[in-house]
């Protein structure tokens, strides 16, 4: 059973189209990154998945309709909308008591264990904690819940790099266990490169890129072209081109026909390796390439 399945998901606010026919499928046990520029529809998509907003089209989360069956889903689906949403008057001990009181799948000892690794005192109120500590508290609460789907919308927004790193480390080591599914959005794409198993780009309410990380490795290749081979390399139809330190870097899609592209000139790895230094592109490079249009043409780049 797919954890999340959407077909033709649409959502409009007045005349603004937030989601324009989103199709996506997330299997159980994946860590999916939903990346997109501001206003691309990320949060709207997450809100639809969490049953926080009504929508048109077909959407199933753990086999249920998240809008009409939200009350049944809240036990299995957990989310952090933003670290700044813990109420400021709440004491740490009260937060533990409350979640333990209302959530049947909350393991209090586990949460206490996470908190023991921090400097957060039980008697503190949320308003007395630093932003990083609030994030740690929220994460400790959420990670102690045995949920099937965890949704994180910009979970590290406003945190410094140390906290961000710690956040993803503990998410992977203390929480993720292959039977759980995590869906996250972030602007710090370079930091989630090794966290994700799947990657989706969303732009203007549509999924414009959907690929697993393994596929990216086998399908995309970046070549820092030797100066003498530039014309030759460009003839192979790179999907993106940029300059770095006077060198030309070209990004190739090794299986463009998969993306129903007419130009089915197969470029193979050995051919590219002969033109310069090759490597797997980073998420950020792919993002720029996909959002920025073909071969350095920046038309339509809504970033």
Partner 1 sequence: MNTQSSAVSGSFGSQGIAPAALSVTRPMYWSVRRELWENRSIYLAPLVAAAVFLSGFLISLIGLPRKMRGLSALDPAKQHAAIEMPYDTVAALIMGIAIIVGVFYCLDALYGERRDRSILFWKSLPVSDLTTVLSKLAIPLVILPLFSFAITVATQFIMLLLSSVVLLGSGLGVGTLWTQSSFFHVSLGLLSHLLIIHGLWYAPFYGWLLVVSAGAPRAPFIWAFLPPFVICAVEKMAFNTSHFAGILLYRATGPETYTPVPGSTMMDLMPALPPMHFFSTPGLWNGLALAVGFLAAAVWLRRYRGPI
Q: Does 91 bind partner 1 (CB under 8 A)?
A: yes
Q: Which of 31, 86, 139, 171 binds partner 1 (CB under 8 A)?
A: 86
DSSP state of 206: E
Binding segment for partner 1 (CB under 8 A), chosen from 69-77, 197-205, 260-268, 279-287, is 69-77
Helices 131-143, 92-102: axis angle to 10 degrees equals 20
Q: Which of 78, 207, 213, 286 binds partner 1 (CB under 8 A)?
A: 78
User: Do 285 and 295 touch, CB atoms closer than 8 A?
Assistant: no
Locate 274 and state its tokens.
Answer: 């002969």
Q: Does 156 bind partner 1 (CB under 8 A)?
A: no
Of 91 and 219, the one with the shorter C-beta distance to partner 1 is: 91
Map residues 18-37 to x or -, x wherever contact with partner 1 holds by CB under 8 A.
---------xxx--------
Task: Specify the pairing of strand 181-185 against strand 149-153.
Answer: parallel
User: Do 76 and 62 touch, CB atoms closer than 8 A?
Assistant: yes
Q: Which of 71, 162, 173, 262 binds partner 1 (CB under 8 A)?
A: 71
Say how far apart CA 266 and CA 27 lie, in whole Å.
30
How far from 273 is each of 49, 228, 246, 276, CA to CA, in Å? 42, 14, 19, 6
Q: Does 103 bind partner 1 (CB under 8 A)?
A: yes
Closest Cα partner for 178 from 141, 148, 217, 139? 148
The terminus-to-terminus CA distance of the chain in angstroms comes to: 35
How far from 133 is each of 126, 261, 286, CA to CA, in Å? 9, 48, 33
Q: Which of 12, 20, 23, 52 binds partner 1 (CB under 8 A)?
A: 52
Report in angstroms how near the CB of residue 264 gets to partner 1 at its nearest. 32
Of 181 and 248, the one with the shorter C-beta distance to partner 1 is: 181
Binding segment for partner 1 (CB under 8 A), chosen from 15-23, 82-90, 217-225, 247-255, is 82-90
User: Do 182 and 171 touch, CB atoms closer than 8 A?
Assistant: yes
Q: Does 124 bind partner 1 (CB under 8 A)?
A: no
Q: Does 85 bind partner 1 (CB under 8 A)?
A: yes
Say how far apart CA 223 and CA 218 lie, in whole Å.
14
Q: Does 102 bind partner 1 (CB under 8 A)?
A: yes
Q: Which residues lie near partner 1 (CB under 8 A)?
A: 1, 27-29, 47, 52-54, 71, 74-75, 78-82, 84-91, 94, 97-99, 101-105, 138, 142, 146, 148, 178-179
């Amino acid at each position: 059973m797919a954890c999340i399945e959407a077909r033709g998901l649409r959502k409009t606010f007045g005349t603004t189209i937030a989601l324009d026919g989103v199709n996506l499928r997330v299997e159980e046990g994946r860590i999916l990154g939903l990346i997109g520029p501001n206003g691309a529809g990320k949060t709207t998509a997450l809100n639809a998945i969490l049953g926080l907003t009504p929508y048109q089209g077909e959407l199933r989360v753990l086999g249920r309709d998240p809008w009409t069956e939200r009350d049944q889903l809240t036990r299995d689906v957990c989310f952090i909308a933003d670290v700044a949403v813990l109420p400021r008057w709440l004491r740490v001990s009260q937060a533990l008591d409350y979640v333990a009181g209302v959530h049947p799948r909350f393991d209090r000892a586990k949460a206490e264990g996470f908190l023991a690794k921090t400097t957060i005192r039980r008697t503190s109120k949320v308003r007395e904690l630093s932003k990083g500590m609030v994030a740690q508290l929220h994460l400790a609460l959420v990670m102690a819940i045995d949920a099937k789907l965890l949704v994180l919308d910009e979970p590290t927004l406003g945190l410094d790099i140390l906290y961000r790193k710690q956040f993803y480390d503990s998410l992977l080591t203390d929480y993720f266990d292959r039977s759980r599914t995590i869906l996250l959005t972030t602007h710090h794409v370079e930091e989630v490169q090794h966290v994700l198993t799947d990657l989706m780009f969303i732009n203007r309410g549509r999924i414009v890129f959907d690929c697993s990380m393994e596929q990216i490795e086998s399908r995309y290749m970046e070549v820092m072209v030797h100066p003498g081979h530039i014309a030759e390399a460009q003839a192979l139809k790179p999907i993106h081109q940029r300059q770095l330190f006077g060198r030309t870097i070209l990004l190739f899609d090794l299986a463009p026909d998969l993306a129903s592209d007419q130009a089915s000139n197969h470029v193979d790895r050995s051919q590219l390796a002969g033109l310069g230094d090759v490597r797997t592109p980073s998420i950020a490079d792919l993002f720029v390439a996909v959002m920025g249009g073909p071969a350095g043409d920046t038309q339509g780049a809504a970033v």
